[in-house]
Structure 1
Amino acid sequence: MKRILSILFLLPVLTIAQDHSEQITQIYDEALTKGRVYEDLRVLCKEIGNRLSGSPEAAAAVEYTKQLMESYGFDTVYLQPVMVPHWVRGKKEVVRAINSDKHGTYEMNALALGNSVGTGSEGVLAEVIEVSGIDEVNELGKKVEGKIVFYNGQMDPTIINTFGAYGGAVAQRSSGASEAAKYGAKAIIIRSVTNRQDDIPHTGSLRYKALINQIPAVAISTNDADQLSRVLKEQTLNVYIETHCKQLPDVLSYNVIGELRGSEFPDEIIAVGGHLDSWDVGEGAHDDGSGCIQAIEAVRLFKALGIGPKRTLRAVMWMNEENGLRGGREYARVAKEKGEKHIAAIESDAGGFQPLGFSTSGTDEQRAQIKQWKNYFLPYRVWDFDQNGGGADIGPLRSQGTLLIGLRPSTQKYFIYHHTPADVFEAVDQRELELGAASMSAMMYLLDREGLK
């Protein structure tokens, strides 16, 4: 009798930690056998295409994702207005080396950087001076006056996390124009920010500093950058640049939001999402069509499996991450204004590749709680829970106490496609995309069932 009483006394202790393995297995099985994420991404990429903020394609993507979530029976689907920049590329760029000794006059593969001013039909013709980065421009000072500055800084191939290597090289793209302009440069050319040798130029956003002359900026492919560097070691060279890009007035766009209402704690929100806009080249498949459609799929899996959430789940398509971050900021502003409580936000914006883990930004207790769930993901080779970070669009929520979580896929191929015409649907693997969506859904499930400390 004493033995029976002892066992009964221990039962509450043994059942405190609930095992979610069976439900998480069902989430992955559903995503891998009956998932919709791959077909939904195909429609976004192939029937709508690239989705630069302010473009008709971006407006079409807003309507498509709204209708998609409505078709899946989300409790509420709505649009959140946000004013976004409207930059247009215009006619194809011309970047031409003039009368080199060995190659004569030749064209380079180039794209204007996002938000850049254009040259107009008169173009810019000037001598080129090569630098490895912004520090070297500051050392040269007035020696760059009247010249085209060629930034040839490379991503460090020895850094295995390619996002770290990207971070070490991207300043020449984001800040290089203003840094060169303050010494009188006429334009800049940058080496595309990628770890691959090829003929594909990479665009991306620049930021002009206030009260500094705005000068044109273009990126050339890594192969062209290497050739230009070789020529400059042998001779003085002039380059002609012609671009027709311009900034138009801001236009009205929308974040797209779909919800499943929580039954027990409806005022606690778990958001999951990606950014709906993309650059105006390629189809924005990895950046970030994958993240958007994975977010919709992550919530759809709850509906498909009949899982009634305790907390309110939101799939959010943020607009204008690429050249303004207006959507993420507006979403956080409205959340604060309404007094909404986001306990966690999950972002996928690192491509639709094989998921390896999750990064987190929150309190030590919150991060430790997420790490405790690692064993649920190990059967799916999702193992890395040690990295810091969340995501650009969810970043503005951090000041409101929200735990930020980033889906972290393999990074080795991402910068092959990033901001290029090669970022198309065919570059995404169906199984890897499905695994990412399932991982996001599983993380939402654990947050929903367990809450946060």
Structure 2
Amino acid sequence: MRSIFRRSLLVSGLGFLTLTAHAQTTAKTDSVNIRKIYDEALLHGQSYENLRYLTGRIGGRLSGSPQAQLAVDWGKVTMEKLGLDRVYLQEVMVPHWVRGAKEKGEIKPAKGKGISMNICALGGSVGTGGKLRAGVVEVKTWAELAALPADKVKGKFVFFNRPMNPVHIETGKAYGEAGDQRRNGAVEAARRGAAGALVRSLSLAHDDFPHTGAMRYDEAVTKVPAAALSTNGADELSQLLKADPGLTFELEMSCETLPEVKSYNVVGEIKGSKYPGEIIAVGGHLDSWDLAQGAHDDGTGCVQSMEVLRLLRATGLKPERTVRAVLFMNEENGVRGGTRYAELARAANEKHLAAMESDGGGFTPRGFNIEAPAATVQRIQQWQPLLRPYFSGLFSAGHAGTDIGPLKDQANALIGYDCDSQRYFDIHHTAADTFDKVNRRELELGGASMASLIYLLSKYGL
């Protein structure tokens, strides 16, 4: 018995050593392959030059605009040049809101000259039909608005002046907390009989750039115009109101909503060598707001997603599962592209192993946020050591992305590329979101980190 037991232990031990050696060999192979991806990205990356063309030659790409269609054409041609297995378009109807002439805003004190304000219409707002002049009442919370007597609100501008909370290290959390006043301000102001809504820009910076962004209406209440003030302008208006509560504000906007327009998602893919029916999607949104070039939001995400496919081909790392890059249309004011992609995937009975999105700018990589069951998150976290040498090994449970959100019930995991966020909301949705704000090395490192995780997902699955 003892000799048999010893032989069993010996065989078991040899098996364990064999498995350990195999695991070490596999990890070494993965490390070498990830190094290849990073070397290719840093030596020959194409993300930066693709972004230069998208932002410089096409510019802002608001859904429904001619520039959005030019971006669709560019995305399709650019991916076709990569020699992918398939490149195609997915038709989607999108909203068509136009800003019109540059907006004008001016504080009119009871005495003295008017003070011009840096403002912009919120996306989807109605125009003013000429000059709209009214008194102003300031609030920071919904409770403050609800507590005001009717005569203090009726016929006035409600000025929503709640700043983003600077104590949050993750600036996206501060943005989410303050964003309700931009989204719902016009509706809640109109419920109280207000003439319009003025909203403090969603930024931690103190500057003169107003931030646009999507807002909504409710068919049950009157549609009133809504505009954003720069953070400096909001501070000035607040101070002046304290000294002169009777001041008025004059607003002039010519924005309007036109009939919906046919547009497209742009899709390119590499078929999986072993499991072509299992899909890993990676994407960014092709549309942007119209105030600038849409560089960080979200030109960087689009070029990084296309670069994932190029990096896999250039390094000879044939994915075992199908990898699909998607340039989504209409994230900013409707999420029509993301919704349409999920609808078509469901109709085709496609199986999505995972979906990844880059929509937080092209700044220095940190890692990934994962929306998935705890066991799946832990599975993905096992690969953190492979990306730690590249300072991209922080894998946390968290929000993955807006465009891939509609896939939540169809994909095993939703993954958001996570980069340093401290500067993002300084330029988000403003005229400052331009190509010169993007660092080449940071951008290419981001594409490499995305490609590396997708390489691992493709090889091992979940």
**Paired residue for 1:303, among 293, 313, 322?**
313
Asked if 1 retains the 8 angstrom alpha-carbon contact of 2:377 and 2:397, the reply is: no
C-alpha deviation, 1:4, in angstroms? 9.3
C-alpha deviation, 1:197, in angstroms? 0.4
C-alpha deviation, 1:350, in angstroms? 0.4
C-alpha deviation, 1:402, in angstroms? 3.2
Asked if 2 retains the 8 angstrom alpha-carbon contact of 1:141 and 1:183, the reply is: no
After superposition, the C-alpha distances for 1:251-295 in whole angstroms (9 at most, x for unaligned) are: 000000000011110000000000000000110000000001000
Equivalenced residues, count? 450
Match of 2:212 in 1: 203
Q: Aligned partners of 1:133, 1:104: CA distance in 2, in Å?
A: 31
Match of 2:115 in 1: 106
Residue 390, structure 1, aligned to residue 364, structure 2? no
Match of 1:365 in 2: 375
TM-score (norm 2): 0.95
Name the SS of the counterpart of 2:126 in structure 1.
Answer: coil
After superposition, the C-alpha distances for 1:92-126 in whole angstroms (9 at most, x for unaligned) are: 1011111354x6211100100000000122x2110
**Paired residue for 1:150, among 159, 163, 166?**
159
Q: Aligned partners of 2:201, 2:15: CA distance in 1, in Å?
A: 66
Among the aligned pairs, what percent are the same residue? 50
**Paired residue for 1:163, among 147, 150, 172?**
172
After superposition, the C-alpha distances for 1:359-392 in whole angstroms (9 at most, x for unaligned) are: 0001111100111100011101113212412100
Q: Identify the range of structure 1 (398-407 vs 32-41) with the bigger mean alpha-carbon deviation.
A: 398-407
After superposition, the C-alpha distances for 1:142-191 in whole angstroms (9 at most, x for unaligned) are: 23111011111101111111111111111110001000101100011111
Asked if 2 retains the 8 angstrom alpha-carbon contact of 1:133 and 1:153, the reply is: yes
Residue 349, structure 1, aligned to residue 359, structure 2? yes
Residue 22, structure 1, aligned to residue 28, structure 2? no
Q: Aligned partners of 2:187, 2:313: CA distance in 1, in Å?
A: 50
**Paired residue for 1:133, among 136, 141, 148?**
141
C-alpha deviation, 1:139, in angstroms? 1.9
After superposition, the C-alpha distances for 1:398-453 in whole angstroms (9 at most, x for unaligned) are: 1124310001101100001100000000000111101110010001000000001x
After superposition, the C-alpha distances for 1:307-352 in whole angstroms (9 at most, x for unaligned) are: 2111100000000000000000010011001100011000000000
Match of 1:333 in 2: 343
Asked if 1 retains the 8 angstrom alpha-carbon contact of 2:386 and 2:393, the reply is: no
- 1:306 is aligned with what amino acid? G
- 1:72 is aligned with what amino acid? L
C-alpha deviation, 1:12, in angstroms? 4.7
Match of 1:435 in 2: 445
Task: Trace 1:114-133 onto structure 2 (pairs within 5 A).
Answer: 114-121=123-130, 123-133=131-141
Name the SS of the counterpart of 2:278 in structure 1.
Answer: strand
C-alpha deviation, 1:6, in angstroms? 6.9
Residue 221, structure 1, aligned to residue 230, structure 2? yes
Task: Trace 1:243-258 onto structure 2 (pairs within 5 A).
Answer: 243-258=253-268
Asked if 2 retains the 8 angstrom alpha-carbon contact of 1:319 and 1:326, the reply is: yes
Asked if 1 retains the 8 angstrom alpha-carbon contact of 2:355 and 2:411, the reply is: no
Gap regions ≥5 residues in structure 2: 1-6
Match of 1:96 in 2: 106
Q: Aligned partners of 1:139, 1:443: CA distance in 2, in Å?
A: 51
C-alpha deviation, 1:37, in angstroms? 0.5
Q: Identify the range of structure 1 (354-363 vs 6-15) with the bigger mean alpha-carbon deviation.
A: 6-15
Q: Aligned partners of 1:363, 1:135: CA distance in 2, in Å?
A: 36
Asked if 2 retains the 8 angstrom alpha-carbon contact of 1:96 and 1:107, the reply is: yes
Match of 1:292 in 2: 302
Asked if 2 retains the 8 angstrom alpha-carbon contact of 1:134 and 1:176, the reply is: no
Q: Aligned partners of 2:22, 2:282: CA distance in 1, in Å?
A: 28
- 1:213 is aligned with what amino acid? T
Q: Aligned partners of 1:343, 1:116: CA distance in 2, in Å?
A: 39
Q: 1:182 to 1:42 in 2, by over 3 A?
A: same
**Paired residue for 1:58, among 63, 68, 77?**
68
Match of 2:3 in 1: none
Asked if 2 retains the 8 angstrom alpha-carbon contact of 1:208 and 1:214, the reply is: yes
C-alpha deviation, 1:357, in angstroms? 1.1
Name the SS of the counterpart of 1:39 in structure 2.
Answer: helix
Asked if 2 retains the 8 angstrom alpha-carbon contact of 1:253 and 1:319, the reply is: yes
Q: Aligned partners of 1:426, 1:442: CA distance in 2, in Å?
A: 27
- 2:270 is aligned with what amino acid? L
Task: Trace 1:229-240 onto structure 2 (pairs within 5 A).
Answer: 229-235=238-244, 236-240=246-250
C-alpha deviation, 1:136, in angstroms? 1.6
C-alpha deviation, 1:13, in angstroms? 2.0
Match of 2:331 in 1: 321
- 2:455 is aligned with what amino acid? Y
Name the SS of the counterpart of 1:367 in structure 2.
Answer: helix
Q: Identify the range of structure 1 (181-190 vs 381-390) with the bigger mean alpha-carbon deviation.
A: 381-390
**Paired residue for 1:415, among 408, 416, 425?**
425
**Paired residue for 1:185, among 176, 188, 194?**
194
Q: Aligned partners of 2:92, 2:373: CA distance in 1, in Å?
A: 30
Asked if 2 retains the 8 angstrom alpha-carbon contact of 1:100 and 1:231, the reply is: no
C-alpha deviation, 1:135, in angstroms? 2.6
Q: Aligned partners of 2:349, 2:262: CA distance in 1, in Å?
A: 24
